[in-house]
Amino acid sequence: MKKQLLFIAYVLFLFSCKKENNTNPETLPNSYSDQALGKSANDLLSDAKYTTLNIQVQYMPGYELETATITNLTNYLNGICNKPGGINITQTQIAANGNTFTVDSAAITERINRTAYTSGNAIAVYILVTDGYDTSQATLGFAYRNTSICLFGKDIFTNSGGLLQVSRVALETSVLEHEFGHILGLVNLGTPMQVFHQDTVHGNHCNNTHCLMYYSIDTHVGLSGMNTVPVLDSNCLNDLRANGGK
């Protein structure tokens, strides 16, 4: 069990996340969803404009998110976002791609397939789960627009669920909640810091090695079980509360 618990830390250490603003000239048909990363942090956290959060997950064949991962994400967001109208998550399959993915190619795939957009009192987030790899650096996912996230399903599957590997749910949840933290404005990415805790060497990440928003999860993180993932530390939670969160 100890080796398995260390494996999630090792995998996340090797596959640190990145987050980039999409610069692809092919824009989305909904201008609200075509803004810089972190721009919608307050709208996602508070109920001032939007009381409902709709999340559209589109996965390529073989890489549907686990039911427990969806449950974990729902609980995570219910704990920090003021959405009295509810948080709704749907999953649908889209065509396979099989190619390497960059921020621009993820944005193009989103442009072709995304159907859920912010409207009325509901804000929408798009999550793409691909069957391809990212070649620019070792990564399991990235956030790239104000309401857009890409996960590398193939990499997540390769590094989870097997003998002496971390559970797939634990790895999916860790990566997905981390990337969602970025579109919620963490760290110093649209949600102002209440006290300084940014790891400036690694961009918009927390300097607490035990926090979900640390740039990579090292072997010192105290995971207590196969389905336990890192959580947001007090500084990140305080930032979210000050920007409209619970």
Any idea what the Cα angle at residue 168 is, between residues 162 and 33, rounded to 5°?
145
- Average pLDDT rounded to a whole number, residues 24-34: 77
Residue 218: pLDDT band with limits 50, 70, 90? very low
| Predicted structure pTM score | 0.88
1 pLDDT higher than 60: no
Query: Residue 75: its pLDDT value, please?
Result: 98
The residue type of 75 is: N
Query: Residue 135: its pLDDT value, please?
Result: 66
- Candidates 65, 60, 64, 180; CA nearest to 132 is 60
Residue 27: pLDDT band with limits 50, 70, 90? confident
Residue 114 vs residue 230, higher pLDDT:
114
Number of neighbours of residue 92 by Cβ within 10 angstroms: 12
223 pLDDT higher than 50: no
By mean pLDDT, which of 77-86, 127-136, 205-214 is the weakest?
127-136
Looking at domain 2-242, which of 1.10.3210.10, 3.40.390.10, 3.40.50.2300, 3.40.50.720 is its CATH number? 3.40.390.10
Residue 12: pLDDT band with limits 50, 70, 90? low
21 pLDDT higher than 80: no
CA–CA dist 138, 18 (Å, integer) = 9
- Average pLDDT rounded to a whole number, residues 26-48: 92
127 pLDDT higher than 90: yes
Query: Residue 128: its pLDDT value, please?
Result: 97
Segments making up each domain of the chain, as ranges: 2-242
CA–CA dist 57, 152 (Å, integer) = 13
Residue 241: pLDDT band with limits 50, 70, 90? very high
CA–CA dist 129, 131 (Å, integer) = 7
The string of pLDDT tens digits covering residues 86-123 is: 999 999 999 998 777 788 889 999 999 999 999 999 99
User: How much is the mean pLDDT over the chain?
Assistant: 86
The string of pLDDT tens digits covering residues 139-167 is: 788 999 999 999 999 888 887 877 767 78
Task: Write the Ramachandran bin of 245: left for phi over 0, alpha for psi from -120 to 50, otherwise beta.
Answer: beta
